[in-house]
Structure 1
Amino acid sequence: MENLGSLSSVLGLPCTSPTSNGIVPKERKGGMAEAHQAVAFSFAITHEGWDVNLDREVLHLVLASGVRSWKKRLFRIQNNLKTGIYPSPLYSLWGTVAAVSGAHFYGLPVPGVKEILKILPAEDEKNQIIACAGVSLAGWLTATFTAKYALKLLYMYKGWMYEERGPGRSPSLKTRLWILAVNTLTGHPMSIKPMLYSFQGSIPRLPLPSVKDTMQRYLRSVRPLLNDSEYERMEKLAKEFQNGIGVKLQRYLILKSWWATNYVSDWWEEYVYLRGRSPLLINSNFYGIDALFMHPTSNQAARAAVAINTILQFRRLIERQELEPIMLQGLVPLCSWQYERLCNTTRVPGVETDKIIHWEDSKHIVVYHKGRYFKVLIYYKNRILKPCELEVQMQAILDDPSQPVDGEERLAALTAGERTHWAHTRMEHFFKGTNRASLDAIEKAAFFVCLDDIPYEFDRNNPDKLDKFGGDMLHGTGYNRWCDKSFTLCIGTNGRVGFNAEHSWADAAIMAHLWEWVVVDEAMDPRYNAQGHTLGTPEFKPPAPIRLGWDLKPTCLAAIEQAYMVVRDLIDKIDLKIFMHDNYGKGFIKTCKISPDAYVQMALQLAYRRNAGKFSLTYEASMTRLYREGRTETVRPCTIESTAWVNAMNDKSKTTVEKVELLKKACKQHQLGYQNAMVGKGLDRHLFCLYVVSKYLEVDSPFLKEVLSEPWRLSTSQTPHGQSSKLDLKKYPQCISAGGGFGPVADDGYGVSYIIAGEDIIFFHVSSNKSCPETDSKKFAQDIEQALQDIRTLFQDYQKIQTAQNSK
């Protein structure tokens, strides 16, 4: 949390107190003079009359801030108008008015004009123009919204997803007609380039599956995990639920699906994230690390400045809706609503539930360095500070010799620890005075930055360094990441970067997009000189960073220490291993004619079976952003087909051909499950919502209670790659992100994140708990490596057999 030391801090003004580096000191004297500098204007009544004193600098800042705010509002109104009428361009309205008016005055009958002129005096030329304009507007709006809803109907078609693609394969006639229709509406000569939110009004709502379909999918998913008697029991419970209370619960969900934009997302955010009372660190927050094969500078201040500037530019693209929406197959848009809360967002703790607060604008960031907090202004005369100007500010913080006050260094442990404890501490100690002001500065910042006092290292010959890099991003010291902020940008002393992100406001794909942009932007546009500093010369003296002040009472210090002990225990337990598989990647997998994601998931199933000696319920995240406000759905990779293949791999009596056929069948089933999840035919979010309704109605369901309590001992996720059109690995081969990861979901399970980063490399981030004797991240990473090698050998042997048969 942040706290401003004085009113000048609150106003974001540079302090003129003499210091060695221009940074406002944390302990100040001469409070009256300081207050005088901070006040925008003052007046006094004397025997001679009014005495008014104006601080023109402050008034200029206030005026500039107001102008910028109104500009943003006008831009927002203009952009909302453009997106509201998409795919029709606004200029088509003026063309319609001109065409109708020309036809009328030429003497051609225009439907509707004559009727209006029966009401208005027809002799008046102005009235004729008004009538033409009214008819034009009505006709234009009708055509515009007809096109918009026609596009929405077209986007409801998902048959294209299930059709196989590749050389020699063409879409079905139905899909070809669908492509033609979509292109007619969005790709015609008069169409305009879509903005970030242009398609929001045309994206359909998430469909609600039937209870019967969900029960069938659920029973199929658990069949390989249950013996015959257990399965019969579960089948009975499912049937009772389907024919009993499930009917009533489904009615409420049907009503919600008609009324709400998305029947899942608000409850998912509320009950899965915001009502969780456990620590955010490791349990919820996730991380990302640098592009390992690029190291543009070792200068910490310079790298921080460039990363901050790039993120602010990305934020501006979102605000102006200039960021291009992501389109699948170049035709179907993904919902973009999650981008809105990327910056200027914080999670505020509550006793029973947290809440997300998003500000429309923020003109500063907060930087943490060696236990101190600094407010840094990021605008000058309504423009974002250049990297060379930001570097001056970052260097000033690095050079500042002041020490943290008691409790300041570990203050952020409160955000990392138990949520209820943080809520009580916040209410007791941070609602007034200096602490309130500083907390406001942090929570209202665009994002949080940590200038770490350690290097982030990568060495192919020493894998442990990469593990430590990941650990530094996942948890750090436990008190140098402000876990409530949408994300914390982290910079090591050697210029390497990474981030730690809060999860409730959006899914990892949004942060992955931002991170990809940061990495690619540095590769495309040289930002550093030969000495490692940022290019360019500051046009002015940047505003000095403002040291935030804190007044932490003994009870608050005890609360901070209590939170830190909880967090320290979590850190001591986590076992993280980052494994770089560079024997082969997507290039070889494509020769097997198998989905790369399905291929990796089957390797994980094989590795887990060998590691744990059994199969387990497996979670893989899939996005549902083909629908309005969609977030995620669960794919269950442990299927009847996958277990049959894994068992065959451990069966010496099975031939190579049999194993490959079983693997292809398993991959095909996995791909079908992934497709079903993407198009709203998943089962876990439906079951979750049925459970929420049952709790509201205070009815008990043995089936739902058992299903929702099943542990996900293997939780997996693929980091999206190539979301930005700027990324071209052929042109910039070093822009391979190593992805990121998260903590294990179950105490006795694994968390596995992976990124298929290129043609020849895959990164795996494996986490588990050291306290569990049944898990070992390093051993599981080795099992994954062996599984990948075994599958490659299997296909190589199969290809040899195929070649031999073809040569005969």
Structure 2
Amino acid sequence: MAEAHSAVAFSFTVTPEGVDFDLNHEALWAVWGSGVRSWKKRYAQFRNNLINHAYPMPLATWMFFMSIVLALVLADTDNWITRWALWIEKWPLIRSIADPWDHYVSSLLFGAMLCLAFIAIIRYTLKALLTYQGWMYDARGKMPLRTKLWVLLVKCLVSRTPLLYSYQASLPKLPVPPLSGTVRRYLQSVKPLMPEEKHNRMREIANEFENGIGKKLQRYLTLKSWWATNYVSDWWEEYVYLRGRAPLMVNSNYYGVDAVFIHPTTVQVARAANVIYTFLSFRRLQDREELKPIQLNKTVPLCSWQYERQFNTTRIPGVETDQLVHYKDSKHVCVYHKGRYYKVYVHYKGRLLLPCELEVSLQKILDDESEPVEGEEKLAAMTAGDRIPWAKARKQHFSKGVNKTSLDAVEKAAFFVSLDEEEHGFDPRQALKKDIGALDKFGRTCLHGKGYDRWFDKSFSLIIFKNGKIGFNAEHSWADAPIMAHLWEFSCDNDVLRLGYREDGHCKGEPEMVPPNPIRLQWDLSPECIEVIHNSLDVAEKLLNDVDLHLMMHDAYGKGLMKKCKTSPDAFIQMALQLAYYRDAGRVCLTYEAAMTRLFRGGRTETVRSCTVESTNFVKAMEDKSKTTSERIALFREATEIHQKGYRNAMTGRGIDRHLFCLYVVSKYLGIESPFLKEVLSEPWRLSTSQTPHQQTDQLDLAKNPELISAGGGFGPVADDGYGVSYIIAGEDCLFFHISCKNSCTTTDARRFGRTITKALADIKDLFNTS
């Protein structure tokens, strides 16, 4: 089924009667439409580049400035503007122009120069203002006068209608923090984790590093920060992600799940069509830069760089290092169903297909009864296994012929879509009583599936379950979770509230054209290639079978109570996690919490070390029966304040771990061994945590539509004997936790840890209820 469109617009044959031309009008229309679309995109990019380079001055203001200068010159007034314009008129090139055009050219040129100077002044003023982060350290409550003045100045300089990348040139660079401060903060962070004797030894080698080779490494790193857009991000992407040779599945990729309190349709292809359409609408807004950049407190802009590679992007395996390849455009998605691959056109005859038209195309895939060829069903297992075998197999078996054509269709797709044969999700009214594992299964299948039904190299794979529930699996190297969360939030709002479904569950509307048929991708897989597929699947199955994942909904209370306690919800949860781990393991551990550094251009993440001296004092006090409630509350508040300070430090470029990581990279380039850096970077993160952002924009109003609360997403365990915990503050009265660990570890258990977290949250609540 699903025959391909002719790739030739016209052909000819020579006959005894002459030359016979055969025109394929449909192909000609496709070529014409593709060309028109390409030129529209180029024009839009050119226009946006002009607007961004002129930002924050509108193009109309340019014309106003130049007109004023020209009018003053023509009026023959005597002022500094006309004198400068007449001086420019004496330039040899301008002087060669005939009168009166030399007046016009010199006046317009000087007007443009005035505009450029004005833009430079505003941009550098805004950049200088954005380097100030003191507002983050202000105490809650009344805003200090200096912060009010700062906010007023920033709001005066930012535009009300910026494009997605308008603020990029005004964002400051990530500063390299002083070496002494980083070493001091590091030693303080490991104090509760080490016996005094070991900590003293660590202090000695740290001081030796700071006063010795560390100074040289710091100078090289400072030099890099002067010319690099961001001194961390390129090395972080390369050495943490792309050079990793371990499987992406579980180890690197992360997942997200559907909103659990709503089930808009049970028709699989209808849900797939609506969501694909909303994703592509989001891509169109990205391409046109019509997405409004996210601003903290509706004032401070965040870096939008990570959006660039969200679509049309694939991670290409290599023997030594992988490569991220981003394609300028893609008019199709790749769909996987029952072991077969399809190229599905989403843009046809000059426009994006409507949801009802996409549903027609996808239904043809479900109606197809053909069987996958040998090796096809589990082909994607190579993207789930070790990188080196996949890199070699790709070069050997997919570099020519039909395999190359089909692989190109997968890798050049806007994104990957998996139409699963299983049903997932749960009824919130019944599942917690009858099927406590429903959410766990939901999370697991989004994290790894069967090990061969997701293309783990794509920027993300959209998963549509048989009952209409959805999820996604995202590759991590191109961007961090907030970018996918933004897309997910946009999709949730538009899918349910704007597009909607008919009463029978199908997409609204009637097709305005017959959409192109899906194209079944063809494969010719040799026995050697099939052996690589099976070997990769063995690796993937061992990995996914070792995952213990628990997706827990906590609805006893949410951020509403936390705010009443006058505490940051994130710090509140982090203290609960510290208490839970202490009770679970009998000790505290090195804890990782991800914080963004997108206040700076090209920023990604920094580590917040949540285990502190103060948090340790609090959790020990909770287990000490001699401590009173007031003492425990005082220690809790002290611990949350220190945690918030650490979080702010991380966001403002004063973190610990990215600085030390980059110093380590410099040492490797110079061939220098540092015992201090080696020991720091070898410490295991037994508790790795992250908060999934929610309501990044004002598009989704959960007060009006609480049923659209997302359950967030999660990731696999980082340490063999530790936990990975992702959480989302989903509303005033609801939290979700995604807890992962390894079955092979005898000391960890995801559900047990979930129960311990619930108990810790209840005990902290009781502190304030009884105080």
Query: Match for residue 124 of structure 1?
Result: 99
Whether 1:237 and 2:209 are equivalent positions in the alignment is: no
Matches within 5 A, 1:176-575: 176-186=148-158, 191=159, 193-458=161-426, 459-461=431-433, 462-575=435-548
* SS of residue paired to 2:378: coil
Query: Match for residue 73 of structure 2?
Result: 104
Distance (Å, rounded) in 2 between the aligned partners of 1:271 and 1:131: 52
Distance (Å, rounded) in 2 between the aligned partners of 1:698 and 1:164: 45
Cα offset, 1:51, TM superposition: 4.4
Does the 8 Å CA contact 2:274/2:499 hold for their aligned counterparts? no
Query: Match for residue 806 of structure 1?
Result: none
String of CA shifts for 1:263-312, please: whole Å, max 9, x gaps: 00000000000000001110110000000111110100100000000000
Query: Match for residue 154 of structure 1?
Result: 129
Cα offset, 1:101, TM superposition: 2.1
String of CA shifts for 1:131-155, please: whole Å, max 9, x gaps: 2211211111111111111111111
Distance (Å, rounded) in 2 between the aligned partners of 1:623 and 1:116: 48
Query: Match for residue 39 of structure 1?
Result: 8
* 2:108 aligned to which of 108, 115, 133: 133
Matches within 5 A, 1:580-595: 580-595=553-568
Distance (Å, rounded) in 1 between the aligned partners of 2:18 and 2:114: 65
Moved more, 68-77 or 442-451: 68-77
Query: Match for residue 668 of structure 1?
Result: 641
Cα offset, 1:49, TM superposition: 5.5
Cα offset, 1:680, TM superposition: 0.3
Distance (Å, rounded) in 2 between the aligned partners of 1:165 and 1:224: 28
Structure 2 counterpart of 1:175, one-letter code: T
Structure 2 counterpart of 1:519, one-letter code: C
String of CA shifts for 1:640-665, please: whole Å, max 9, x gaps: 00000001000011111000000000
String of CA shifts for 1:714-769, please: whole Å, max 9, x gaps: 00000001112201111111110000000000010000000000000000000000
Does the 8 Å CA contact 1:290/1:496 hold for their aligned counterparts? yes
Does the 8 Å CA contact 2:338/2:377 hold for their aligned counterparts? yes
Cα offset, 1:118, TM superposition: 4.2
Cα offset, 1:113, TM superposition: 2.1
* 1:174 aligned to which of 132, 146, 164: 146
Cα offset, 1:121, TM superposition: 8.3
Cα offset, 1:71, TM superposition: 1.1
Does the 8 Å CA contact 1:85/1:148 hold for their aligned counterparts? no
Structure 2 counterpart of 1:58, one-letter code: A
Whether 1:645 and 2:615 are equivalent positions in the alignment is: no
Query: Match for residue 68 of structure 1?
Result: 37
Uncovered stretches (5+) of structure 1, i.e. residues with no partner:
1-18, 25-33, 799-808
Distance (Å, rounded) in 2 between the aligned partners of 1:271 and 1:752: 24
Structure 2 counterpart of 1:113, one-letter code: A
Query: Match for residue 741 of structure 1?
Result: 714
Does the 8 Å CA contact 2:30/2:348 hold for their aligned counterparts? no
Query: Match for residue 114 of structure 1?
Result: 86
Structure 2 counterpart of 1:659, one-letter code: R
Does the 8 Å CA contact 1:299/1:532 hold for their aligned counterparts? yes
User: Per the alignment, do residues 127 and 588 of structure 1 end up closer, same or farther by CA in structure 2, a change over 3 Å counting?
Assistant: same
Structure 1 counterpart of 2:76, one-letter code: G
Moved more, 458-467 or 76-85: 458-467
Structure 2 counterpart of 1:414, one-letter code: M
Cα offset, 1:97, TM superposition: 1.6
* SS of residue paired to 1:757: strand
Distance (Å, rounded) in 1 between the aligned partners of 2:231 and 2:749: 39
User: Per the alignment, do residues 64 and 123 of structure 1 end up closer, same or farther by CA in structure 2, a change over 3 Å counting?
Assistant: closer
User: Per the alignment, do residues 101 and 278 of structure 1 end up closer, same or farther by CA in structure 2, a change over 3 Å counting?
Assistant: same
Query: Match for residue 607 of structure 1?
Result: 580
Q: TM-score, normalised by structure 1?
A: 0.92
Distance (Å, rounded) in 2 between the aligned partners of 1:445 and 1:493: 23
Does the 8 Å CA contact 1:716/1:752 hold for their aligned counterparts? yes
Does the 8 Å CA contact 2:29/2:349 hold for their aligned counterparts? no
Query: Match for residue 784 of structure 1?
Result: 757
Does the 8 Å CA contact 1:122/1:128 hold for their aligned counterparts? no
Query: Match for residue 27 of structure 2?
Result: 58
Cα offset, 1:115, TM superposition: 1.8
Does the 8 Å CA contact 2:124/2:170 hold for their aligned counterparts? yes
Whether 1:704 and 2:677 are equivalent positions in the alignment is: yes
Matches within 5 A, 1:618-767: 618-767=591-740
Cα offset, 1:231, TM superposition: 0.4
Identity %: 57
Distance (Å, rounded) in 1 between the aligned partners of 2:632 and 2:283: 49
Distance (Å, rounded) in 2 between the aligned partners of 1:647 and 1:118: 80
Whether 1:85 and 2:58 are equivalent positions in the alignment is: no
Query: Match for residue 775 of structure 1?
Result: 748
* SS of residue paired to 2:770: helix
Structure 1 counterpart of 2:671, one-letter code: E
Distance (Å, rounded) in 1 between the aligned partners of 2:383 and 2:563: 44
String of CA shifts for 1:676-696, please: whole Å, max 9, x gaps: 000000010011011111111
Uncovered stretches (5+) of structure 2, i.e. residues with no partner:
none
* SS of residue paired to 1:567: helix
* SS of residue paired to 2:334: strand
Distance (Å, rounded) in 2 between the aligned partners of 1:788 and 1:366: 43
Distance (Å, rounded) in 1 between the aligned partners of 2:184 and 2:353: 57
User: Per the alignment, do residues 546 and 228 of structure 1 end up closer, same or farther by CA in structure 2, a change over 3 Å counting?
Assistant: same
User: Per the alignment, do residues 266 and 122 of structure 1 end up closer, same or farther by CA in structure 2, a change over 3 Å counting?
Assistant: closer
Distance (Å, rounded) in 1 between the aligned partners of 2:582 and 2:313: 41
Cα offset, 1:41, TM superposition: 3.0
Does the 8 Å CA contact 1:89/1:192 hold for their aligned counterparts? no
User: Per the alignment, do residues 434 and 443 of structure 1 end up closer, same or farther by CA in structure 2, a change over 3 Å counting?
Assistant: same
Distance (Å, rounded) in 1 between the aligned partners of 2:540 and 2:106: 70
Cα offset, 1:239, TM superposition: 0.6
String of CA shifts for 1:566-592, please: whole Å, max 9, x gaps: 000011110000110000000000000
Cα offset, 1:74, TM superposition: 1.1
Does the 8 Å CA contact 1:413/1:567 hold for their aligned counterparts? yes
String of CA shifts for 1:319-360, please: whole Å, max 9, x gaps: 000000000111110000100111000000000100000001
CA RMSD between the two structures: 1.4
String of CA shifts for 1:157-180, please: whole Å, max 9, x gaps: 1111100233xx12x232222122
Cα offset, 1:111, TM superposition: 3.4
* SS of residue paired to 1:734: helix
Q: TM-score, normalised by structure 2?
A: 0.97
* SS of residue paired to 1:112: helix
Distance (Å, rounded) in 2 between the aligned partners of 1:245 and 1:463: 55
Cα offset, 1:410, TM superposition: 0.4
Structure 1 counterpart of 2:207, one-letter code: K
